[in-house]
Structure 1
């Protein structure tokens, strides 16, 4: 394979494989600096991240509950949901909530800004192996459906998911992919 190692080594590592080893602020900052180098049309740089560590993850769990209840009206946050998401938060030394910050001037189509946020997350994800970290991008429907409304964010912000990261002891699992040539058409 002639693919650069930082791309070939990118993989999803789920929270159940994370260790309890803390990730330093300097490492998180370096990952976010890599994320910030993503391309964006007209330099709108629409990615925004909230970083939750330590006791901040309890704040995140409450924000998730508020979002769920605001979007679902009569449905309430259940113990089952609290356990499901609480466990993932507990297992993850760091959780990033990913936002699209839509250009108020709408100088580019929204899909281009969503793609730019995806490029930003990809930069971060491709940098994890350099620190022996693993990560997983999740987009719970109640946070990200219709781009999600999130407590305490400006009207032009939309939640595009959560990124769990940490040091890990994940086994090497198969990552099957179809051949790249089957997805490409050359013209000319």
Structure 2
């Protein structure tokens, strides 16, 4: 990812702090899963449906992390959607990079903050079809 960032920054200039951040992250993670979507050019479905289906795959990865003792998160942003990344991954016009899932083993002394869950009923509005 660091090399892709260098390539992307040729015109705008390289931010050395950002390069250092890539180095720090590389020390914390063991694997990166590149999440890509391949669209069937003959599909009659809107592209958004393929994107949503890929999002479901990402959610399933999240659900399996804790039982496997793995920590991880999805990273997106300019680097993910850049032409440089598309070229690096050798993607064709029917393929799209949607993110990088970064994985590692959590340190024993790190505790995740308690997150206050908002009940679904407070976020859901049911509409009567009548």
1:113 to 27, 42, 50: 50
The number of residues matched between the two structures is 122
Cα distance, 1:187 vs structure 2: 4.2
- The gaps in structure 2 that reach 5 residues or longer are none
1:30 — aligned with what? Answer: none
Sort the Cα spacing of 1:153 and 1:77 in 2 relative to 1 into closer, same or farther, 3 A: farther
Sort the Cα spacing of 1:173 and 1:131 in 2 relative to 1 into closer, same or farther, 3 A: same
1:185 and 2:129 correspond: no
2:6 to 65, 85, 96: 65
Alpha-carbon distance in structure 1 between the residues aligned to 2:37 and 2:5: 17
Sort the Cα spacing of 1:87 and 1:78 in 2 relative to 1 into closer, same or farther, 3 A: same
2:103 to 156, 161, 165: 165
Matches within 5 A, 1:1-188: 60-66=1-7, 68-69=8-9, 74-144=11-81, 148-149=82-83, 150-151=86-87, 152-169=90-107, 170-188=110-128
Alpha-carbon distance in structure 2 between the residues aligned to 1:163 and 1:115: 16
Sort the Cα spacing of 1:141 and 1:175 in 2 relative to 1 into closer, same or farther, 3 A: farther
Secondary structure at the aligned position of 2:41 is classed as coil
Q: After superposition, what is the alpha-carbon deviation per residue over 1:79-108, rounded to whole angstroms, capped at 9, x for unaligned? A: 222112222122101111211212222331
- The gaps in structure 1 that reach 5 residues or longer are 1-59
Q: Which has the larger radius of gyration?
A: 2
Q: Does the 8 Å contact 2:32/2:103 carry over to 1?
A: yes
CA RMSD after TM alignment? 2.0
Q: Does the 8 Å contact 1:137/1:162 carry over to 2?
A: yes
The alignment's TM-score, normalised by the length of structure 1, stands at 0.57
